[in-house]
Amino acid sequence: MSADLNALRHLLKERFPSAAPLVQRTVAPVSTGLSELDRILPGRGLPRGKLTAWGPLGGASAVLRAACQRVVVAGERAVWVDAERTIGAEWQEGPLLIRPQDPLPRINALRAAEVVLASGGFALVVLSAGADPEGTERVRLTRAAREGNCAFVALTESPSLATLRVSSRILPHSFRWARGPFADPAAPIDATVEIRVRTLGWNAHASVVLPVDPYELRLSLDPSLVDRRGGERARTGTRRGARSR
């Protein structure tokens, strides 16, 4: 019985290599460039030809942006489909940044993702939150990723059809702060991100410390405006428990 089962497994692996669980696959995955994360990923990287569902926020964008850069440095190509247009001035050249056009940004983001996935020319495609694929959309994208043999990461809460599920969160009390003259927190320095990876027969987690980019707000008090510092309470009368709109 056991011999038959092994023979069947062997046959399935031979005939349908892409159907094998990630932990048994031998196809070279896409390295994220973050050794702590690669260590907990099956095969030490994001799987090619598969959908990875990564819960949005919690440091996901930071890690995936770095992964895209890593892919480009390695000589391959990466695409970030910025469906909700939140990528800011910290974006580094290298990966392609694609923004869907109006009036249907969500649909256009999904179409764009499908085109680049199926082309076979990209090693990593990231679909940002705001274009969460549903139902048949997800089936089409998964199929396109398989056709193009591309690592496809969708920032989505839904794990449907995803071969690999990743969740990450920033530990609230892990922030380190630069202190001001009153010993109050003045600027965040870094924070710890906990990443958990799950797939069939695999459950691993790791913690990484990520620096926080300063936003470098330039103070520019206009001489024609009154200086409101110290006048806040007198003008608005806001107190603890009061609601301000």
Partner 1 sequence: MERISAALLAVSPHVVIGARGVIWADARGLPAREVADAVLAIAKEQGIENARVGIARIAIAAETAATVGRTPVMLVTPGDERAFLAPYPLRMLAEAAPTPPLPKLSAALADVGIEHCGELAALTLEEVEVRFGADGVALWRLARADDQRRVFEPRTRALASASLAWEEYALRDTERLAFVINRLAGTVCTELGTWGEAARAMTLTLALTSRTSMERQVRSSRPTSNRVTWVRLLRAELERIKLRDAVVGLSLRVDAAGEMESPQGDIFDRGLHSSRAVEEALTRLLDDQQATIVGLTRTEHPRLEDRAQWHSRELGEVLRGLGSSGKGSRAPSLSLQLLPRARPIAVQTAERRDHCVPVSYRERAQAQRRGAPGASRVSEVAVLTTVGPDRISGGAEVGELYARDYYQCVTADGLLVLLYRDALAGQWYLHGWWD
Task: Say whether residue 51 binds partner 1 (CB under 8 A).
Answer: no
Q: Which two tokens stand for residue 158?
A: 């839904």
Residues 110-129 that bind partner 1 (CB under 8 A): 111-112, 115-116, 118-123, 129
Shortest Å, Cβ 25 to partner 1: 20
Q: Which of 205, 158, 141, 193 is nearest to 54 (CA)?
A: 158
Site string for partner 1, 67-86 (x = CB under 8 A): --xx-xxxxxx---xx-xxx
CB 62 within 8 A of CB 81: no
Residues 1-30 that bind partner 1 (CB under 8 A): none
Residues 136-155 that bind partner 1 (CB under 8 A): 155
Q: Is the CB of 15 or the CB of 229 nearer to partner 1?
A: 229
Task: Say whether residue 156 binds partner 1 (CB under 8 A).
Answer: yes
The span from the CA of 38 to the CA of 34, in Å, is: 6
Q: For partner 1, which stretch binds (CB under 8 A), given 4-12, 15-23, 197-205, 206-214?
A: 206-214
The span from the CA of 114 to the CA of 141, in Å, is: 6
**Coil/strand/helix, residue 80:** strand
For 1, 12, 242, the CA distances from 7, given in Å and listed in that order, are 10, 9, 71
Task: Say whether residue 35 binds partner 1 (CB under 8 A).
Answer: no
Shortest Å, Cβ 123 to partner 1: 8
Q: For residue 191, give the H/E element and its range.
A: strand 185-199
The span from the CA of 184 to the CA of 230, in Å, is: 18
Q: For partner 1, which stretch binds (CB under 8 A), given 7-15, 17-25, 45-53, 98-106?
A: 98-106
Task: Say whether residue 165 binds partner 1 (CB under 8 A).
Answer: no
Exactly one of 44, 99, 140, 198 binds partner 1 (CB under 8 A); which one?
99
Exactly one of 20, 139, 170, 204 binds partner 1 (CB under 8 A); which one?
170
Q: Is the CB of 157 or the CB of 203 nearer to partner 1?
A: 157
The span from the CA of 41 to the CA of 35, in Å, is: 10
Exactly one of 41, 42, 108, 124 binds partner 1 (CB under 8 A); which one?
108
Q: How many chain residues bind partner 1 (CB under 8 A)?
A: 101
Task: Say whether residue 205 binds partner 1 (CB under 8 A).
Answer: no
CB 118 within 8 A of CB 148: yes
Task: Say whether residue 185 binds partner 1 (CB under 8 A).
Answer: yes
Q: Which of 195, 190, 198, 133 is nearest to 165 (CA)?
A: 198
Q: Which of 127, 129, 132 is nearest to 152 (CA)?
A: 127
